[in-house]
Structure formats: structure tokens, C-alpha cells
Amino acid sequence: MVVCGLGRFGKSLALELMKEDTEVLGIDADADRVQSVSGRLTHAVVADTTKEEALRQLSVHEYSRAVVGIGSDIESSILTASVLVEMGVPNIWAKAISHSHARILKQVGVHHVTRPEHDMGARVAHLVRGRMIDYIEFDDGFSMVKTTPPAHIVGLRLSDSKVRQEYGITVVAIKRPGEGFTYATPDTIIRPGDTVIVSGLVRDTERFSEAS
């Protein structure tokens, strides 16, 4: 994995990847940033990621995955992404700091664009509004939510609870107190203290959580 840009986002990502036994080539034009991860990444190099020749010298074109972690310098972010696209890197992720930044990154050919601050803000907003314990939203308006079940379905089998008809959601997994998560089945009985993971459209998972 290549990580271009070793600011807070890029550095954190690179170190997490290393924890998961992924080899990481970290690149940044700032020598201090590179020094801060020296010995902690597989390779850490000072180079200008906006220059194709510099990246080719580092054999970046031979990698199958790359992340553009540059955020505040939008021009460098877009130029770096363009170089990676031109080099034919098969899977490119990039951090965007605004809607327009994200749109341009997609236009130049970046495969996956993330807006960490925006996504985290939206996630926290969902968590504080209802009784959600955790929340993941996907691009197509689909979400998965970890929450407590509504009181009126406690004691019922899932097949009898009619949650799919009433809320439009599917209970995917269930966790008993002191136990791990297991897959839910139609015969699963909801008990007091249970935690469930449900999937469905955002508005439906929100409605289910708010009924808890």
C-alpha cells in the first residue's frame, strides 16, 4: 500500500495498516513528517508526490493500492491523484475536505473518495439523536446500526415481531449480555438487555432506533 501524504490522516492510516501487517510505503515532501514515521513503516521516503517521475522512481506504479492522504493542500491532492490515475494504479483512495474537492477527485478518476470530518460529523449526529450505539452509512443511503431493541418486541421471536413489516429493517445479529454477537434467525427470541445489529435504509434504521 502506498500512502501519499503523512499528515495526521495519512500518518494515522499508515500506522494502522502496519498494525494489520500491511506493508506500507509512506511518501511526503516534508522531511519532518517522514522522520516521524521512520522505522515504523516498511518504507518512508521524502518525495514530491505531484511529480510522476518521482513516484515512478519509487515504483509506485507497481502497487495495486494507493491512498492520497493530502487534505489541506487541495492542488497537491488533485495533482497527486491525477498522477496515480495516469500511472494506472488499480485502486486509489483519496481524502477530500469539501464537496467540490471530492467531486474533482472523482472526475480525475479516483476510485474511492472519503471525507473523514464530514463522515464522522454525520455519524455522530445520528448517534446523539437516537439510542444508537454505533452507526455505519453507505453511499446508497443504506445503513447498519448497533442499538437496543424496542421494548415491545422483547420476549418475541423475530419472526413474530414483524420488525421488517413495521420498520423495514432486518435484524442481522444479536448479542446477549456477557456474550459475543451471533447471527440472528427467525427463531431468535429478543430478551431484556440484548443488543442488536440491524440493516436497512437510513430513515428506517433511525426509526427503529428511536423506538428503542
pTM: 0.68
CATH number for position 180? 3.30.70.1450
Contacts (Cβ under 8 Å, ≥6 apart) of 145: 132, 134, 135, 136, 197, 198, 199, 205, 206, 208, 209
Range of the domain at 134: 129-210
68 domain residue, yes or no: yes
Q: How far apart are CA 175 and CA 191, in angstroms?
A: 10
32 and 64 inside one domain: yes
CB atoms within 10 A of CB 45: 15
148 domain residue, yes or no: yes
Domain boundary (57, 80, 114) is at: 114
98 domain residue, yes or no: yes
CB atoms within 10 A of CB 150: 19
CATH number for position 71? 3.40.50.720
69 and 168 inside one domain: no
Q: How far apart are CA 131 and CA 133, in angstroms?
A: 6
Total domains in the fold of the chain: 2
135 and 85 inside one domain: no
145 and 98 inside one domain: no
124 domain residue, yes or no: no
121 domain residue, yes or no: no
96 and 137 inside one domain: no
104 and 136 inside one domain: no
Which residues, listed in sequence order, are joined to residue 134 by a DSSP beta bridge?
Answer: 146
Q: What is the pLDDT along the chain (212 residues), one digit of tens a residue?
A: 999 999 999 999 999 999 989 999 999 999 999 999 999 999 999 999 999 999 999 999 999 999 999 978 999 999 999 999 999 999 999 999 988 999 999 999 999 998 887 777 776 776 766 678 888 887 678 889 999 999 999 999 999 999 999 999 999 999 999 999 999 999 999 999 999 999 999 889 989 988 86
140 and 69 inside one domain: no
Domain boundary (114, 149, 165) is at: 114
8 and 47 inside one domain: yes
What's the pLDDT score for residue 5? Answer: 96
40 and 110 inside one domain: yes
119 domain residue, yes or no: no
106 and 196 inside one domain: no
Domain boundary (82, 114, 146) is at: 114
Return the SS3 of 57. helix
43 and 107 inside one domain: yes
What's the pLDDT score for residue 188? Answer: 96
Q: How far apart are CA 100 and CA 105, in angstroms?
A: 9
120 domain residue, yes or no: no
